[in-house]
Structure 1
Amino acid sequence: MKLSKMHFEASTSFLLVYIEVIILLSCFNLQGLNLLGLAATPVARGNDTDQRALFQFKAMITGDQLGVMESWNSFIHFCQWNGVTCGRKHQRVTEELNLAGKSFYNNIPQEIGHLRRLEILDMTNNSISGEIPSNISSRLTRFNMRGNRLTGEIPAFLGHLSNLKFLSFANNSLRGSIPPSLGNLSSIQTLVLMANELTGILPEALGQLTNLSGFSIAGNTISGILPISMFNLSNIIIFDIGRNKIQGTFHSDLEINMPRVEFFSVQGNQISGQIPISISNASELNVLQFQDNRLHGNVPSLEKLDSLFRVNLGSNHLGHGKEGDLNFLCALANNTKLESLYVYDNNFGGGSIPASLGKCQNLLTMDLSDNNISGTIPPQVFRLSSMSIALDLSSNYLTGPIPPSLSSLRGLVELDLSDNNLSGGIPKFLVSFRALKYLNLSFNDFEGVIPTEGIFKNTSATFVERNNKICGGIPELHLPRCYSKRSSKTYSKIAVVIVILAVTLVSTSLLILLFRKKKEQPTIICAENSLLQLSYQSILKATDGFSMQNLLGSGSYGSVYKGSIVESGATIAIKVFNLMNQRASRSFLTECEALKNIRHRNLVKVLTAISGVDYQGNDFKALVYEFMVNGSLENWLHPSIAINEAETMRNLNFFQRVSVSIDVAHALEYLHHHCETSIIHCDLKPSNILLDEAMIGHLSDFGLAKILSADILNYSSHQSSSLGLRGTIGYTPPEYAMGCKLSTKGDVYSYGVLLLEMFTGKRPTHDMFKEGFSIHNFVAAALPDRVTEIIDPILLQERSTQGRIADVTLNHKHLQHLNSIFEVALICSAESPTARMDMDDVVSKLCSIRDKLLRPTRSRH
């Protein structure tokens, strides 16, 4: 299921809020802190050392946009300054310096170390940069620098702050490893180092922190084996080591002694083995996350965990593909608190979905996709009236119709039943699902009429492809028309009428041809309507005499001009061919008749073809196309030097590239497999792919291979060698250079190279590709572990509309699927034609990848 970005952000916010609540609650256990302030204390002369340190601190801080430090002046006692809390007895800054969320920036002032009695330092959610000061007060009990821009390493001296109970450097840019000295913080209750750039291993000494209740190192690149001692933190409430590179093997008998744990996450690591049975003893668990690891085997019973409201076991190797793999779900079904259940991308199956899941009356989201589940969908699953976010049963082996009980899920936002063997009609009540934002029913065996209202009006939210028995729907879905059943007598009458009309039409056409004079002016064929009955003179006028200002591009076979028809105001693109012999006209006319019948949403529409002579008597041929306002893919992948700032921002993001690659694949699939005679493009490259106003890709120059090669054949007796001239260096398959005939496999090779170019940002003719080293070898050598080294850098640092580098670009899941895209490209660009895929298989693979690429945005964290 392809949940929206909003759901992903909501899930991430949930985790942060959950951790923050537990952290705040733990703060009430801090002893010796006076939280009553100074309201009842008379103002006394303060310590000059503290006052001087605060003034120095103020001098170093910039960006006080909120005016927080306006009260920091010599007329007001420093104990009454904003954010400053003093002890009532000595009037020293002993209690707290709280400057959280004040929009400060610049380096963290070293003067903070002069506040020798400071116990609480909180500067969360500012833009403070620099390294952690080395002269922090030894009396600190709470040190919170979350949400800043700190760099450098975590200093080892922090391990000597024996009074420290709370330490958070989350969401900064700290590097290096976690110092083992932190294991000396015997009083520490909360340690949060998540979302940094920390490396190294997890110190064994951290397992000694017996008072620890909150621990998170999520979102770093920490590696090595997870110390077993970490599982004996008996007071732990939050345990989050997710999204690192931690290894090790879990055994089913591993003892997890965490009786108070509520949030347990090891997601996004490289942990193998089995889920320990002892996790079922953690009776307080609310959130359990094992996703994105290498776990296998059975899932232990979670029946005792009646407080669970989020379970995520996705993207592992769990199960055996046999009957009974999903039995653990039956135990979960009795959990009335369960809200989110994810077991996607495993090896569960051999049996059907347990009907008992219908008891989970609070379930909001369920994802059982990418398993081996078979059988029909139990009606009870669709009776979960509370389910209001997402249901994903895609990529299984489900059969039968959609149960009518689905109508009870009217609050559902996203529904994915794709890539199964479901049959029957598509329920009309889906039209009334007002909350539904994503519906995927593709790759099934549905039949009947597709509705045209509700979500079915939105082609970007509805997917019904590869259901060969459906019809109707809105025109943008490109489905066949639906015809009502008629009697055989009616069909016979219609057939007779059609035959009579056909005979009359043919006879009339023959008569016209017999009496038609030879052309002395350019001939117009394939015209779509009267507005485009163009002549050489009108083309000359539309392009302002083929002026350089209207030249869009040129190649070996001609030039493309932008034109404007004065009478209609239409903007068109005209490809004028560079032909030296008038005898080619006959074959051009013949092939244009074939082009006239080619129609596909991802092919540039041929509006008119013109053949004849110009005013100087030279042979003249032109094709008139729809004008594509966003130009060619070439200009987006390899923009020339920008002439203004707006052009500087011009680039394709990750999902646009995926979408365009699928558009091109659809176009080639149509040419190869769905035309009356297969059409070979022969010159697939970025400059022949054009983008419309919606950034939909359109393949141009299709059929040109047939037109021009036929022209060439009129003057060549060596067919294979003549055809071997077609193509562009870097994209042409190796067999063409050896004189082999054109084939659809040649187009597949060119497509594979194009796909590699789109995601590496490198042309196949780049200077680095020489002496047998190709873009194919370049990518093959980097997969699967070094994909970030070959990806187009623009994709790793996509820019926002304000021109700032985004904090989050491609996540781990995106990179996994990018590996899959590269694998398709490598198969397509294989040296041997027999090793390459057919385009219909390419479409199937890429559409599946596209659907799964949307899936990381769902709330699985």
Structure 2
Amino acid sequence: MKSPQAIIYLSSFTRISIIFYGLAIICLTSTTVFASNGGNETDYLALLSFKSKITQDPYKVLTSWNHSFHFCDWSGISCGKRHKRVTAVQLSSKGLKGSLSPHVGNLSFLRHLSLWNNSFQGTIPHELGRLSRLRILYLYENKFSGVIPANLSGCSNLEILWLAQNNLSGSIPKEMSLLLKLADLVIHTNKLTGGIPPFLGNITSMEVFSAEGNPLGGSIPDTVGLWKSLTGFYCGGCNLYGQIPPSIFNLSLLVTFSLPENHLTGSLPTKMGNQLQNLELLQLSGNKLTGILPPSISNCSKLGYLEMSINDFSGKLTIDFSKLRNIYKINLQHNNFHGRGEADDTRFIDSLKNCTRLVTLNLYNCNLIGVLPISIGNLSDQLNHLILAENQLFGSLPSSIGSLVGLTYVDLGPNLFKGKIPATIGKLQRLQILDLSRNQFSGPIPNAIGNLSLLTELYLDINKLEGHIPSNLGNCTKLNGLELANNRLSGKIPNQILQLPSLNYFLDLSYNGLSGSIPSEIKDLKMLSHLDLSYNNLSGIITSSLGECISLTTLNLRGNQFQGTIPSSLSSLGGLGVLDISQNNLSGKIPQFLEKWKSLEYLNLSFNDFEGDVPAVGVFANASAFSVLGNNRLCGGLDMLELPKCKETGSKKKRFPLFVLLILIAPALLVVLYCVHLFCKKKRNSQQSQSSGNEQSSGNERLLKVSYNQLIKATDGFSIANLIGEGGFSSVYKGILDSNGDKYVAVKVLNLQNRGAHKSFLAECEAWRNIRHRNLLKIITSCSSVDFQGNDFKALVYEFMPNGSVHDWLHSSAKRLKLNLVQRINILRDVATALDYLHNRSQTTIVHGDLKPSNILLDDDMVAHVGDFGLARLLGADLNQNSSTGVKGTIGYTPPEYGIGSAMTSIGDVYSFGILLLEVMTGKKPTDDMFNDGLSLHKFAYMALPDHVIGVIDRDAIVLQSMEANAKKVEECLVATIKIGVSCSVDSPQQRMQIEFVVNELQRILDVLHHI
């Protein structure tokens, strides 16, 4: 039995327990209620404000941001364990679009804010400056604009600040110097100006500074040398000038030093390698640096990438590469590494034997004089690019080169090599391109070259090679170009090389001593573009098999001993641009099919024995486009030829009596008059019908509609045989419409199952309603119907362009034709004129949005027509105005601002035109495999200006130009043209060249070329 005191004690304890229990329940209840309302009210409301500014959330990452969960459990949110305050917001690469709420500045415990790779736009809120605990701020790869907020200086604990790849402008604010803990400042690829401010040197904690791709200007301040912890310095393409301050070379922890494509001058300190021993990447290409390349670079034992090309370095290359065991790329092209006195500029190669990771050795155009040492064979078996062209290397090519089994690309011409080509070259089983041209090699072409089964291009021209062409070159089954011109080769043309299925680019055997006839196997080269057999001892008749080489654009048989007539089978070569059969023993009449070839630009029939009438139409209508000199039995033609008049035949002398003529023509005249009467009557009825019908239709709808059935018939059921092109939204077929006579048309059928195809159709229709210009593709009609299964069907019918697209001429495996320089600039002028019309001279400003070579089509006269307005935008119209999160246009041609969400503009078309121009002139696509590691088509062209432009121009561009007599003028034209392309394709829209000026400048260049 419990005592009273115990009972009282228990009773009191019970009451106290009940009270505490009640309080606990109240606390738990209130906590639950508070959590459901957002926990810490400030953070909760700030996050809700953040969510309210998001307009697109494709991955639904903010779905969890609701009352059902405590905000610390929301996606992307981290909180502190003690106070349950937000410490991190990590929403990178979530596809979010919208603006950044200024209320984020209320997350006072925030340490990490990561929003990179989204589509945030607008300005960066200055309220972020309240986040005094913030250490990491990732806002890169968005669409932020405006200036860098000066208030960020309030983030006194900030260590990492990444604002790169936005649209920020203005200068770096002075208040930045207060961020004394900042280690990473990454602001590359914006529009920042004002130079690298000296006050940044106050941030002595700096480890990485990246500002490349900003038009900063100015010089590099000496205060950068205060960044003793710096490991990465990236300022390529920043318009920097002046000398590199000496203080930088005291930054001993520097790993990456990248300053390409600036205007830096002066020389490098001789002891830089002793000071920067941690360097792994040294990139100073595309500047104006002088002096020697410091031998002390040998002490940078960790160096892997050495890029010093396109400068004015001089003196012998004395770097001891044996100490650089990690080196994998050496790019030193376009410098002057010839030492005074002895011709031993290649001694450095001996020291490369320990560089087992070396992949690229490029010393193109470095004025090297000397013998290529045997030690070349000691280089890494990983080496795949060996480029020593445009130097003065002499002596024999060491047989040890056969040890470099990893090689895929070898360019050793032009140099002064002599002796035989070593047979060991046949061991290079991975070789794809071999260029030994413009040397003094002699002896036979080694049979071992036939072992190179992956070879695609072989250049052995302009040497002293002799003997027969090896028949086992037929084993090189991937060969698409063979250049053996200007040698001393003899014997017959091997059948085997004429049966290579891949030979579609060029076959040049000119200026040799080949004999015999052209083998009939030539018919197997159906895809060959360029065939040159000129100046040999070939004889017999011109084989009719040549007529099966239907892709030929150039055929040169000049200076041989061919006899007989021009075979009629050549009439199938309708794509020929150049035909030269001069200086032979050909006879007979000039075939009529020659005057019908609209693509023919130059025809040379001179110094043969042709007879009869010279036509005066087609190519024969332009005296500068053909030659018939030295054919004494020809007559007629243009007056300026001063040929005798042709004698009239007996049949021509006959005169019909007048009454006989009246009897013959009277019935026909009556028929004609009756037909005219019926036509006029029908036209009146049609006009009345259209007048009544148009009361219900748009006044702009003038095109005669066609049915699905008519298009089926026109294209033979949309057969694959008539398919001439495919795109993302459509397929294009060649066909003949009954209503269009016997002329071909191009039928563009929309793939309506593809998302966006319908919108593309509407955009193109709307564009065509507003434009008419000689350099725009002509639309004939349209079709909006259903197919035989009841599915929607939409198509557009255009005038057929017989010469295909510019893309075909530049890149098609068929390589139908080669475009010479004048043709290319004519095409570019035509395209620029079309853009000037669309942007400035049409009733409604139109942005094309997808300018590229495949959308530039060529008619019979090689006049360019811009087509495919599927992505077009009419400025001021409602159609197609909504911006998209996706990149508009085609990769490689799309301006960078589209990639960060900017609206389509006419200046965006100018960027695409710039890339198009550079592609037309260099023959390289912007997506070429060579464009990596920061190199682009724009940079490739920019680095060649002004002294090395010839090196980047497509060889075909100058094939018909008189480079010997007018080399300086032609080169000036090339430089001027490349400058236009570079100016149009700069990243900054405001700095691009205006299209009106482009048209004027291209016309000026054409005028100069026409007078050469």
Equivalence for 2:484: 479
- 2:42: which partner in 1? 49
Alignment of 1:266 with 2:259, yes or no, is yes
What is the CA–CA distance in structure 2 between the aligned matches of 1:262 and 1:196, rounded to whole Å?
Answer: 24
Determine the C-alpha separation between the residues in 2 that align with 1:92 and 1:153.
30
Task: Indicate which of 394, 414, 417 corresponds to 1:419.
Answer: 414
The 3-state SS of whatever aligns with 2:153 is helix
Q: Are residues 423 and 120 of structure 1, via their aligned partners in 2, closer, same or farther at CA, if it must alter by over 3 Å? A: same
Q: Give the drift of 1:166.
A: 0.5
Please list, as runs of the form range in 1=range in 2, the aligned pairs for 1:671-750 lying within 5 A after superposition. Answer: 694-698=814-818
Whether 2:355 is the aligned partner of 1:315: answer no
Per-residue deviation, 1:162: 1.2
Partner of 1:102: 94
Distance between the aligned counterparts of 1:171 and 1:797, measured in 2?
21
Task: Tell me the alpha carbon deviations over residues 113-144 of structure 1, each in whole angstroms, 9 at most, x when there is no partner.
Answer: 34233221101122222221221134321111
Q: 1:90 aligns with which of 83, 88, 94?
A: 83
Q: Which residue of 2 aligns with 1:640?
A: 777
Q: Which of residues 164, 169, 179 is equivalent to 1:175?
A: 169
Quote how far apart the aligned CAs of 1:259 are.
1.8
In structure 2, how many angstroms separate the alpha carbons of the residues matched to 1:589 and 1:653?
28
Matches for 1:821-840 after TM superposition, within 5 Å: 837-838=964-965
CA shift for structure 1 position 559:
8.6
Give 3-state SS (helix, strand or coil) of 1:256's partner.
Answer: helix
Measured in 1, the distance between the counterparts of 2:539 and 2:125 equals 94
1:191 alignment partner, one of 181, 185, 193: 185
Shift of 1:767: 11
- For 2:363, which of 358, 361, 368 is the aligned residue? 368
| 2:390 paired residue among 392, 395, 408 | 395
2:284 corresponds in structure 1 to 290
Select the structure with the greater relative contact order (CA < 8 A; seq sep ≥ 6): 1
Do residues 249 (structure 1) and 254 (structure 2) align?
no
Instruction: Please show how residues 298-447 of structure 1 align to structure 2 within 5 Å.
Output: 298-300=292-294, 301-320=296-315, 325-327=316-318, 329=319, 331-350=320-339, 351-354=344-347, 355-447=350-442
CA contact (8 A) 2:355 2:380 kept: no
Secondary structure of the corresponding residue to residue 838 of structure 1: helix
**Residue correspondence of structure 1 range 766-785 to structure 2 within 5 A:** none
Q: What percent identity do the matched residue pairs reach? A: 25
Q: C-alpha displacement at 1:84, in angstroms?
A: 0.4
Per-residue deviation at 1:469? Answer: 3.0
| 2:216 maps to 1:216 | no
**Matched residues in 1 for 2:43 and 2:65: separation?**
13
Taking the aligned partners of 1:612 and 1:129, their CA distance within structure 2 comes to 83
Report if aligned partners of 1:527, 1:533 keep a CA contact under 8 Å in 2: no
In the alignment, what sits opposite 2:888?
A: none
- The amino acid that maps onto 1:403 is P
Offset at residue 839 of structure 1 (A): 7.4
- Alpha carbons of structure 1 residues 468 and 69: separation in structure 2 relative to 1, 3 Å: farther
Q: Distance in 2 between matches of 1:814 and 1:654?
A: 23
Larger mean CA deviation between 463-472 and 126-135 belongs to 463-472
Aligned Cα root-mean-square deviation (Å): 5.6
* 1:572-651 equivalent positions in 2, closer than 5 A: 638-641=775-778
Aligned equivalents of 1:245 and 1:533: distance in 2? Answer: 52
CA distance in 2, matches of 1:638, 1:333: 59
Q: Compared with structure 1, are the counterparts of its residues 764 and 795 closer, same or farther at alpha carbon in structure 2 (3 Å cutoff)?
A: closer
SS for the counterpart of 2:298 is coil
Are residues 388 and 615 of structure 1, via their aligned partners in 2, closer, same or farther at CA, if it must alter by over 3 Å? Answer: farther
- Structure 1 distance, partners of 2:539, 2:118, is 82
- Structure 2 residues not aligned, in runs of 5+: 1-31, 475-479, 493-512, 518-537, 542-563, 575-594, 601-613, 635-647, 656-723, 726-733, 735-771, 781-794, 838-906, 920-924, 954-960, 979-1012
Q: Given that residues 105 and 126 in structure 1 are in contact (C-alpha distance below 8 angstroms), is that contact kept between their aligned partners in structure 2?
A: yes
Moved more, 351-360 or 214-223: 351-360
Amino acid aligned to 2:940: K
Q: 1:526 aligns with which of 534, 544, 566?
A: 566
Cα shift at 1:69: 2.2
Residues 292 and 80 (structure 1 numbering): CA distance in 2 closer, same or farther, change over 3 Å?
same
Q: In the aligned structure 1, how far is the partner of 2:834 from the partner of 2:65?
A: 63
CA contact (8 A) 2:413 2:439 kept: yes
2: distance between equivalents of 1:283 and 1:456? 44
User: For residue 224 of structure 2, what is the amino acid of its counterpart?
Assistant: M
Q: 1:91 to 1:656 in 2, by over 3 A?
A: same
Q: Which residue of 2 aligns with 1:240?
A: 234
Q: Distance in 1 between matches of 2:490 and 2:101?
A: 77
Q: Is the 8 A contact 1:97 1:120 kept in 2?
A: yes
In structure 2, C-alpha distance between the alignment counterparts of 1:849 and 1:382, rounded to whole Å: 42
Higher-Rg structure is 2
> Does the CA contact (< 8 Å) of 2:141 and 2:165 recur in 1?
yes
Q: CA deviation at 1:365?
A: 2.0
Instruction: State the match for 2:125 in structure 1.
Output: 133
1: CA distance, partners of 2:207 / 2:255: 10
Query: How far apart are 1:194 and its partner, in Å?
Result: 1.2
Q: Tell me the residue number matched to 2:939.
A: 812
**TM-score, normalised via structure 1 length:** 0.58
**Cα–Cα, structure 1 residues 402 and 615, in superposed 2: closer, same or farther, change >3 Å?**
farther
Task: Give the Cα separation in 2 of the matches to 1:846 and 1:654.
Answer: 24
Deviations along 1:706-757, one digit per CA (max 9) or x if unpaired, are xxxxxxxxxxxxxxxxxxxxxxxxxxxxxxxxxxxxxxxxxxxxx7765654
Change (3 A) 1:239 1:651: farther
Q: Distance in 2 between matches of 1:454 and 1:615?
A: 64
Superposed displacement of residue 204, structure 1: 0.6
Q: Is the 8 A contact 1:445 1:468 kept in 2?
A: yes
Q: 1:652 to 1:838 in 2, by over 3 A?
A: farther
Q: Is the 8 A contact 2:459 2:483 kept in 1?
A: no
Please state whether the residue corresponding to 2:72 is helix, strand or coil: helix
Q: Deviations over 1:764-820 (max 9, x none)?
A: 99999xxxxxxxxxxxxxxxxxxxx99975433669999xxx999742331344656
Moved more, 360-369 or 290-299: 360-369
For 1:209 and 1:435, the matched residues in 2 are separated by: 51
Q: Partner letter of residue 811 of structure 1? A: H
SS at 2:940 equivalent: helix
Cα deviations across residues 432-466 of structure 1 (Å, max 9, x unaligned)? 5343344333332334327674657754x444444
Report Cα offsets for 1:471-511 as digits up to 9, x if no partner. 555695253695469xxxxx9x999xxxxxx9999xxxxxx
Q: Which residue of 2 aligns with 1:16?
A: none
* Deviation of 1:233 (Å): 1.1
Q: Which secondary structure does the structure 2 equivalent of 1:174 belong to?
A: strand
TM superposition score normalised by structure 2: 0.50
Tell me how far apart the structure 1 counterparts of residues 431 and 481 of structure 2 sit (CA, whole Å). 19
> What do the CA deviations read for 1:176-217 (whole angstroms, capped 9, x no partner)?
222222122111011001122222211110111100111111
One of 141, 148, 151 as aligned partner of 1:147? 141
Contact 1:309–1:340 (CA under 8 A) maintained in structure 2: yes
Could you say if the C-alpha distance between residues 303 and 477 of structure 1 is closer, same or farther in structure 2, counting changes exceeding 3 Å? closer
Q: CA, structure 1 residues 760+134, in 2 after alignment: closer, same or farther (shift >3 Å)?
A: farther
Aligned length: 592
Q: Specify which of 454, 464, 469 is matched with residue 465 of structure 2.
A: 469
State how far apart, in whole Å, the 2-side matches of 1:116 and 1:318 are.
54
Cα distance in 1 for partners of 2:939, 2:353 equals 33
| Contact 2:152/2:176 (<8 A) preserved | yes
Give the whole-Å Cα distance in 2 for the aligned partners of 1:153 and 1:458: 53
Partner in structure 1 of residue 68 of structure 2: 75
Displacement after TM superposition at 1:171 (Å): 1.8
For residue 220 of structure 2, the aligned residue among 226, 230, 235 is 226
The offset of 1:278, in angstroms, is: 4.6
